[in-house]
Amino acid sequence: MATATSNAGTTTRSSRDARDGRDLLRTSARAVRDGVGSMTAGRRALPGLLITGGQRCGTTSLYKALVQQPHLHRPVWRKGVHFFDTDFDKGVDWYRSHFPLVSTVRRSGERHGLAATCFESSPYYLFHPLAAERIKATLPEVQVVVLVRDPVERAVSAHAHERGRGYEPLDLLDALDAEESRLAGEEERLADDPTYRSHAHQHQAYRARGEYAVQLEKLAGVIGRERIHVVDSHRFFEDPAPVYTALLDALGTRTVVPTRFEQHNARRPAPIDAGLRRELEAHFAPHDEALASWLGAPASWRA
C-alpha cells in the first residue's frame, strides 16, 4: 500500500511538473511571438472582418471554413485575439502584431483578383460593454459576422463548457439562479476600469448572452447595421454551402478554392429538465422575436 501511495504521489508530481513545464514553454513562446510581432507591427495588416456571436454558437466552425480561402487571412498565432474585450490596454501595435504583413495580404488579393483581408474570431466581442466603441475607433470600416443559435441550447452548452474548463462550480439550475447576482454591477466595473476583467461576465452569463437582439442593437448603434451580418448557426450546420455562399456574397467576396465544412467544438446536448426548458424558452421568446428582423426570417428554432 505504501508503494502504491508513493507511486501515486510521484505520478501526481510528475503530471504537475509536466503541466508547469508546458505553461513555461507557452509563456516563453508568447513572449518571443509578441516581441517579433511588435517589432514589425507597422508593416502588419489590421482585420477587415470580425467573427463574433453568442459563446458556443459555431464561431470556430465558420472560422475554420474561412481560413481555407487563400485571400482571407487568419491571425498568425491564434484564432481569437481578444483585443477589443480583455486586452485593449495592450495597444493597437500589439493587436497588429498578430496579423500577416500588409504585403502578404496584398499579394494574395492580386493573385486571385479579389480584395484580400484579415479576420479573427472572438465571441466575447458581442457581449463586452466596451467592445463596440473600441471596434469603431480602431476599425471604422470593419464588417462583423454574428453567429446565433437556440439560446436555450446555448445556455446549456455554455454551462457544460465552463464546467469542463473548471470555470463554473455550480450545477445548471444553481448557476442560472446565481446569474443575476453574479452579474450585478459588472458592466459598470468594466466601463469604469478598462483593465478590469470580469470572470462572471465572460464565463457565467448563461441567460444574458442568449439575448442576442439587445446586443445586436447596441452594436448597430455604434458601427452601423449595414456592417453586421447575422448567421443562424443551425441553418449553417444543416446546409452549410448556401449559407456560406450567401455570407461571402454579403461580404463582397467569394470562394477561391472548394470549402470543406466541419463542425468544431461540438458537444453532445446535455439533458435538461422539461420545466426548466419551458421557463427558458419563455424568457427568450421576446428576444427571439426581435431577432427575426436581423435574420430576415424567424429563427430556425422558432420556425
DSSP states of 249-275: HHTT---SS-------S--PPPP--HH
Class of domain 34-295 (CATH, top level): alpha beta
* Residues 124-165: tens digit of each pLDDT: 999 999 999 999 999 999 999 999 999 999 999 999 999 999
CB 72 within 8 A of CB 183: no
DSSP code at position 47? P
Q: Is a pLDDT exceeding 60 seen at residue 8?
A: no
Mean pLDDT across the chain, nearest whole number?
89
Q: What is the pTM of this model?
A: 0.86
Which of 100, 66, 81 shows the shortest CA–CA distance to 264?
66
* Residues 101-129: tens digit of each pLDDT: 999 999 999 999 999 999 999 999 999 99
Q: What three-state secondary structure class fits 239?
A: coil
Q: Is a pLDDT exceeding 90 seen at residue 27?
A: no
Most distant CA pair in the chain: distance in Å? 71
* Residues 65-109: tens digit of each pLDDT: 999 999 999 998 888 899 999 999 999 999 999 999 999 999 999
Q: What is the phi-psi region of residue 265: left when phi exceeds 0, alpha when psi lies from -120 to 50, beta otherwise?
A: left
Q: 3-class secondary structure for 185-219?
A: CHHHHHHHCCCCCCHHHHHCCCCHHHCHHHHHHHH
Domain ranges of the chain: 34-295
Q: What three-state secondary structure class fits 144?
A: strand
